[in-house]
Amino acid sequence: MKDIQIKKLIEQEKKRQKSVVNLIASENYVSKDVLEALGSELTNKYAEGYSGKRYYGGNEVVDKIESLAIERALKLFDLSAEKWHVNVQPLSGSPANLAVYVGLVPQGGKIMGMSLDNGGHLTHGHKVSATGKFWAQIPFGVDMKTEVIDYEEIKKIALNAKPDIIVAGFTAYPRTVDFKKFREIADAVGALLMVDMSHFAGLVAGKAYPSPFEYADVVTTTVHKTLRGPRSAMIFAKNDARELGKKIDKAVFPGLQGGPHLNQVAAVAVALKEAAQPSFKKYAKQVIKNAQVLATTLQKLGWRIVSGGTDSHLILMDTWMQGIGGISGKEASDLLEKAGIIVNKNTIPGETRSPMDPSGIRLGTAAETTRGKKEKDMVKIAEKIDKVLRKK
Ligand code: DSN
């Protein structure tokens, strides 16, 4: 690279990534092949539209790439092209979720989603997101005692508010989700059921976490978290008379985006093939085992883990512990970063502090498991976290 400034900065970031313990639950390390696809000449090509229906010439190669990505997405999640439609063009998770609402929820309609402080995402209808400005959020949370989803309570809220769409999915909820129950609730109120599986897509692909496809109308996902692909997203829609896929395609392009980033689409295809290998199943199981060992070791060391543990790649740790000898999420995250452990501060259910300095931190094991870390390493990481946070 001739641009020495950027070259140096990339080298610095590479060094930083190598030198830290990365517990950011939404990050991972992609393969060289994914990087190669991202850095390829495909970035030069404009291809507004979809395979076979483009507004530019010269698409014979990129049409094949987009079709292959779609084929691999279906195969990875055991779906058929007859029953499911896939859009691989969303640039990332937020635009993917927005496209679903633009395509399927009437203007001013109601999105029922998990509130941010209980583990949901901004694009599940939070007021600071476009999804909460153009539609109304009907929030639901977790049971404050158990800190897990209370389906009866969600049903009550849904019956009362009559949402147009219910979003099951999260960014900071450590447990499995009962998608069948969500389906029943959606049916009871005539709502669409969307599952945002961004965080656990890789665990579903690795058969280590329940699959939402039997129950959802629409599934959105990023590709770069547990699925270990490039920054990107996909939308799956059930094929039936409602033509959900067609409406979503129109919302993605021309509704919200211009030309797809074909280098990114190619990198998605590469990652999907990698995730279909038998070794990925082992990886997904190890991610969860590692998270469980990390959680139980922290508990043994006296820390409170939200909901008492985890069924996934992520852990929500209550560092504040109502101020009893604990420290705030921001201080915890800053101290850990100084010690080479990267986490993010996070609100916990029933948050009493501010989002900028909340009561907890979120830990995830997808990235470190990619680097080959096992249970014994998790014990050491937990002990180091404990030492740093107790300022020993
Ligand atoms: N930033 C992602 C996460 O960390 O969960 C969600 O957008």
Q: Is the pLDDT of residue 284 over 80?
A: yes
Q: Could you check whether the bond before residue 254 is cis, i.e. omega within 30 degrees of 0?
A: yes
pLDDT digits (tens, 9 = 90+) for 326-341: 899 999 999 999 999 9
The single-letter DSSP state of residue 232 is -
**Residue minimizing CA distance to atom 5 of ligand 1:** 171
Q: Which residues contact 355 (CB under 8 A, 6 or more apart)?
A: 116, 117, 347
CA 315, 316, 321, 327 torsion: positive or negative?
A: positive
Angle at 330 between CA 349 and CA 316, to 5 degrees: 35
User: Which among 28, 371, 375 is positioned nearest to 201, based on CA atoms?
Assistant: 28
- Average pLDDT over the chain, rounded to whole? 97
| Set 66, 117, 164, 196: catalytic member | 196
pLDDT at 204 over 90: yes
CB of 268 closer than 8 Å to CB of 232: yes
| Confidence check: pLDDT of 324 > 90 | no
In this structure, the strands spanning 341-342 and 21-22 are parallel
Q: How far apart are CA 378 and CA 386, in angstroms?
A: 12
Q: Which atom of ligand 1 is nearest to the CA of 27?
A: 4
Of all residues in the chain, what percent carry a pLDDT higher than 90? 97
Tell me the one-letter amino acid at 377: D
Contact assessment for residue 333 and residue 343, using Cβ atoms and an 8 Å cutoff: yes
Nearest protein Cα to ligand 1, atom 4: 26
Assign 203 a pLDDT band (cuts: 50, 70, 90): very high
Residue 119 has pLDDT above 80, yes or no: yes
Joined tokens for residue 34 = 């994914």
Ligand 1 cavity residues, CB under 6 Å: 26, 93, 121, 171
Rounded to whole angstroms, how far apart are CA atoms 228 and 31? 8
Nearest alpha carbon to residue 146 among 118, 167, 126, 165: 118
Identity of residue 306: V
Q: For 114, list phi and psi in degrees, rounded to 5.
A: -70, 135
Mean pLDDT of 160-176: 97
This model's pTM is above 0.95: yes
Domains of the chain, CATH where assigned: 33-275 (3.40.640.10), 279-389 (3.90.1150.10)
Percentages (nearest 5) of helix, strand, coil residues in the chain: 45, 15, 40
Q: Which atom of ligand 1 is nearest to the CA of 362?
A: 4
Per-residue pLDDT at 277 exceeds 80:
yes
Does 367 score more than 80 pLDDT? Answer: yes
Is the pLDDT at 67 greater than 80? The verdict is yes
Instruction: Please determine, for residue 167, whether its predicted confidence score (pLDDT) is greater than 90.
Output: yes
Confidence of residue 344 (pLDDT cuts 50, 70, 90): very high
225 is catalytic: yes
Q: What is the pLDDT of residues 74-88, one digit of tens each?
A: 999 999 999 999 999
